[in-house]
Chain A
Amino acid sequence: MTKQSSSFSIVRLRAQFIKEVFSVLRDPRSRMVIFAPPLLQLLIFAFAATLEVSNVELAVYNQDSGRWSQELVMRLDHADFVSNIHYVGKSSDLQRLINEGKVIAGIQVPIDFSRQITAGASGQLQVLIDGRRSNSGQITFGYLSAIVADISAEVQAEQSQITPVVVRHWFNPNLNYRWFIVPGLSGILAFFSALMITSLSIARERELGTFDQLLVSPTSTAEIIISKSLPALAIGTLLGLLMIAAAVFLFQIPFSGSFWLLLISIVLFILSVVGIGLMISAISSTQQQAILGAFAIGVPAVLMSGFATPVENMPMILQALAQAIPLTHFLVIVQGSFLKALTPSDILANVWPLLVIAVVSLTLATLFVRRRLE
């Protein structure tokens, strides 16, 4: 009889670790569900999530037949982002086309447009923009402004002008949106995978009855939590690395930071997610509750993490709440590591909250499992 009664044993831990790995990866169906969808979605969403505008239609109501309105129409026709221009004869048609969502913007050229310009005054163009699509409307307006500025420059070619400002975008000179979205997406998809795997792990064993079997064995609660954390940690980290690799090699996004610091951050990030997942799992009594619980926590967490919009735009209360979400800190690290060559001290500033979340959530998960025994 082996008198092994210590509260921690590597042998017991190893046995449970192997069991966890097999129960996630032995079934080809669940292997697929874990790896294929996140990678596929990285590909689709990286292209889908863009704040650039292309293939839009415009409407023009041209009342002027002068030279400058011709110039304008010609340039619009050649613009890359425009797929089709509707020429209309009355301003109510402009309105109708916008209402029906056929065009994103309508341009009304007044009758004295060319005359005013030739006279050295300003030609006024009225641009009606579909406010439903507020964001792309704004971007379209930006593109239109650039075209108009070009024409202006031609008009005033002879006049010397002081250039008032020069704008430089650091880290991402052409403001390529994909450079922003892909690192963030890899964080989100790794977040969801790790959350789903761990939130189900205890609930599933409980439903199948194997959890009792585990609880009657000499293994301690801490060992159960650790053995459930490690495989999810390994899978989550692997998934994160795969997606980082896709970002670097497939999407050709410049990686300027330190890989090793990023790796450490990924591990801590996944660990903190694993802690939250196990907490959900320890509370849930059925798989359905675990799934819906993970969902009810995960979706708001993604929204508040600063993925879609910066955290600093949120109300103060939400900003404070966002600090408790691992994703918030990881997004800063991963985006910074790609584009900004984030310094070790900046990484550290975002790593310690991850560590705190991990320690707190894993401790709570252990306590919840233990309390269930009472």
Chain B
Amino acid sequence: MKVKKFDLKRLGALVYKESLQAIRDPSTLLIAFVLPVVLLFLFAYAVSLDVRDVRIGVVQESNSAPAQQLAAAFASTRYLNVTMAQDRREVAEQVVSGKLRGFVVIPQDFEQRLHSQNGLPLIQIITDGSQPNTANYVANYTQGVIQNWGAGAGMKVAPAAIELEPRYWFNAELESRRSLVPGAIAIVMTIIGTMLTALVVAREWERGTMEAVMSTPASVVEILIGKLLPYFVLGMLATLGAAALAIFVFNVPLRGSLAALLFLSAVFMIPALGQGLLISSVTRNQFLAAQIALFSGFLPAFMLSGFLYEIDGMPAPIQFITWFVPARYFVSSLKTVFLVGDIWAVFWPNLLAMAAIGTFFFVLAKRATRKNLEG
């Protein structure tokens, strides 16, 4: 007797079943639709690498006219939230407790130093180094304020020999939101592709429904595709929704084409789903599957994909690990397709890498799932 190895009707039945299950489980919907919106919202508004409204202190020890002008210059800046003080001890304590991120000291002999040119520094800037990012910002921004004030006050400062004119491409305003939100799509898809898939396949083993399906003429390939296709569609829907949110709500431009975005996402789903399938086939247990998916899928996508932290800055052994994180290739493609355009020179190597990792996962998963209950 010949039985067809692959039958679209059987596949259709499995896909339909899986979709119904996905739609009916509140926890699936929570993860697939609510969590992405929450995450995107947080990346747009809560996780901002742009420092704004930093609270600093200005210690005005001198009451001279130039000192007052400088203090006024600080008070009127947009991006600083200034607390005035007379004594540096008042503000020093607040830096320790974290209420202030730094302070500027206008010394008692400010006017004399200004005129004498004795090499003594005019102004002291103290930052809270325990938050390095903010500390850098405080140092740079306060220096800018002082320079502006100096130019306005006609200070005898020679023009710099070389001036740098920075131009930030693709993101002229340097909003971190623009680079974080596209990257967040990769996180959302990792959650749906790897985490959710690992759980639902493990559940099928745990509840014994796998045994019943395996005793029907459906082949392993059909069972696996039937299992994955709905989550593929769910992932793509979540991508579309997240992209729409990014473009229309968070004002991130989509400079490339929608087709390219969808193609990239579709290819990323291969390693994401493959990893979820592999994890569940090996563990066949929901608790372990969730833990492993968390540690091998979600957290690497978060920390090692270049999404929050630049891969260029990591030590060589860690950079080596990132090569095996599929999200790494997807994050870089996403940022390009959103902020730059369809740069296929960037996409092709990334697509190839994702497809290769994905194929590797699928081959392993197929070997772990034979159509029987052995091993």
Contacts and interface: CB of A to CB of B under 8 A. Distances in A.
Interface of A: 29, 33, 37, 41, 44-45, 47-56, 68, 72, 98-101, 104, 117, 121-138, 141-142, 144-145, 148-149, 151-152, 155-156, 159-173, 175-177, 179-180, 192, 196, 200, 204, 287-289, 291-293, 295-296, 299-300, 303-304, 308-310, 312-315, 318, 332, 335-336, 338-343, 346, 349
A288 B286 contact: yes
B269 to A, nearest CB: 20
A132 B161 contact: no
A104 B166 CA distance: 13
A55 to B, nearest CB: 5
Interface in B105-158: 113-114, 117, 119-136, 139-140, 142-143, 146-147, 150, 156-158
B313 A313 contact: no
- Tell me which of A128, A164, A296, A299 has the highest count of chain B C-beta atoms within 10 A of its own C-beta: A164
B133 A129 contact: no
Nearest to B45: A315
A262 B170 CA distance: 44
Contact of A309 (B49, B98, B310): B49
B47 A303 contact: yes
A115 B335 CA distance: 40
Contact of A175 (B129, B147, B178): B129
Contacts of A54: 312-313
Most chain A Cβ neighbours within 10 Å, of B96, B159, B308:
B96
A100 B163 contact: no
Given A49-B303, A126-B167, A313-B51, A101 B336 contact: yes
Interface of B: 25-27, 30-31, 34-35, 38-39, 42-43, 45-55, 95-98, 113-114, 117, 119-136, 139-140, 142-143, 146-147, 150, 156-172, 174-176, 178-179, 191, 195, 199, 203, 286-288, 290-291, 294-295, 298-299, 303-304, 308-310, 312-315, 318, 321-322, 332, 335-336, 339-341, 343, 345-346
Contact of A29 (B51, B132, B288, B294): B288
A340 B96 contact: yes
Most chain B C-beta atoms within 10 Å of own C-beta, residue among A72, A172, A204: A172
Nearest to B55: A312
Given A167-B125, A168-B127, 17 more contacts: A127-B165, A133-B179, A135-B176, A135-B310, A152-B162, A162-B157, A164-B121, A168-B126, A170-B128, A172-B135, A291-B287, A295-B31, A299-B298, A309-B46, A336-B98, A341-B96, A346-B98
Given A132-B336, A176-B132, A299-B35, A200 B287 contact: yes
Among A161, A162, A175, A176, residue most surrounded by chain B Cβ atoms (within 10 Å): A162
Contact of B127 (A50, A100, A170, A289): A170
Contact of B171 (A132, A161, A165, A349): A132
